[in-house]
Amino acid sequence: MEKKISVKLDRGIKRVNNNTQLCIAYAAGPGDIVSTFLSWKKGMDDPNQVSVTYSSLFFDACHSLHAKGIAISSCSRKDSIRTENFYIENLPKGGGKKGIAFHWQQILYLIRVIRIAESEGARMFVMADSTSHFFLYSWFIPFGMKLVPTLHCTLWPRFRPISSAQKILNFLNRGVFTTRATAILAVSNTIVEQVKQLTKNRQRPIYTFLPFYHKALFASLTPPNSNADSFNLLFAGRLETEKGVFDLLQIAETLHKRGINSITIHLCGNGSKENELRNTAVKKKVEKNFIIHGYCSRTEMLAHINESHAFIVPTLTTFEEGFNKVVAEAVLAGRPVITSAVCPALECVTNAVIQVLPDDVTGYLDAIIKLASNKTYYLEKQANCLTYQSQFYDRSRSWQASLEKIISNE
């Protein structure tokens, strides 16, 4: 049974005068926002997520502001729900499009979302970067509807040259960040620096935020056993090439060839490369020390965290990593994390991290062996986790708090 984490909010929002009630629309990512809302109404967090979802924080913000909330996600499970003060919809975008067809899909999807927001009376449109191209908003937005982009990924992979296509997108998006947006939400300083670079320091006000967690969720975890004979390394995320999963497979193969059988890499998550990873692991005879658990519920995820000694986040430089919440979750669980500067979350938890150069497979291998074999070094990194935990439990630093600041300043 999933553990219920109470949000402790009175869900009875009182409607104010229909002519003056603030109405906010939120174009979210691909999550099942309808299911999240149903959990939120019961005073619970989404049982499938470790962090408090941004959609839950949006609902909290609407509750706090006595506002009407419109939330739309691109979840493939089509569904909707209406209450007195909310309209929530899973509006599938579709997938598999490439080239011009992809961009045309982006245009049509954003038009549909904006029409829903307009028909519901929204005066502010909070738009996640996964929704569509930001510059399209300026083409189709009704007069008087304010835009707040919320950035969870970098604008481009920061360790790679900017591609020609990205330069065109940057040119088209620049006006959104300098003029059209009311304000901008950003999850890391890395994103802030890219916005400043794009706009030549003429950007609209930027409000940063951190992922938010409830402390009770991690209270049941036990400290890792540093005296255990085996060392369990945990990867949590999508099983995709850009997330570094094939680098982990290569590391497992090297450990096997060296006869190091005390280190086991556990992968929690699913993705398009799952079957290929499983088959290759068997072919290379490393399946006993390279274990793919697939999709995990929150309860299953917490169980795997409980058995782990450390996390690894080997995201490649080809990906636009804006933060990576797994780094924060490792620290909250009291587990050191091996990662690189590709993950901007590193700057928030520096001394609890074993930092490796980006895309350096040998560097990751050496870091794993050192952490697993040097008990003093491991305990030092583990102790440092405690230093950084409170910031992720602080609602005043959350996405909700930053959104409310933007609205209060209008």
Quick: pLDDT tens for 63-109: 999 999 999 999 999 999 999 999 999 999 877 777 888 888 888 89
Quick: pLDDT tens for 261-280: 999 999 999 999 999 999 99
Give the C-alpha separation, 405 to 410, whole Å: 9
205 Cα distance to chain centroid:
22
Give the C-alpha separation, 353 to 385, whole Å: 9
DSSP state, residue 181: B
Supply the pTM of this predicted model. 0.91
pLDDT of residue 11: 32
Q: Which residues contact 211 (CB under 8 A, 6 or more apart)?
A: 51, 52, 187, 323, 325, 328, 392, 398
What is the DSSP pairing of strand 79-82 with strand 86-90? antiparallel
Q: Which two tokens stand for residue 118?
A: 């307009």
Q: Which two tokens stand for residue 91?
A: 């509006």
Residue recorded with tokens 């003060």 = 85
pLDDT of residue 19: 55
379 Cα distance to chain centroid:
28
Give the C-alpha separation, 310 to 220, whole Å: 17
Give the C-alpha separation, 158 to 284, whole Å: 34
Taking a C-beta distance cutoff of 8 angstroms, is the pair 208, 398 a contact?
A: no
Q: Rounded to whole angstroms, what are the CA distances from 315 to 30, 290, 324, 327?
A: 20, 18, 9, 11
Q: Which two tokens stand for residue 151?
A: 């950035």
Burial tier of 102 (Cβ tally within 10 Å: 0-12, 13-18, 19+): exposed
pLDDT of residue 12: 32
Give the C-alpha separation, 308 to 231, whole Å: 7
| CATH, domain range 215-391 | 3.40.50.2000
In the chain, which stretches have pLDDT less than 50? Answer: 1-18
Domain 23-212+394-408 has CATH 3.40.50.2000: yes
Q: Which residues contact 183 (CB under 8 A, 6 or more apart)?
A: 148, 204, 205, 206, 207, 406, 409
Residues of the chain with CATH 3.40.50.2000: 23-212+394-408, 215-391
Q: Rounded to whole angstroms, what are the CA distances from 56 to 34, 35, 43, 112?
A: 11, 11, 10, 23
Nearest CA among 151, 148, 59 for reference residue 400: 59
DSSP state, residue 215: G
190 Cα distance to chain centroid:
15
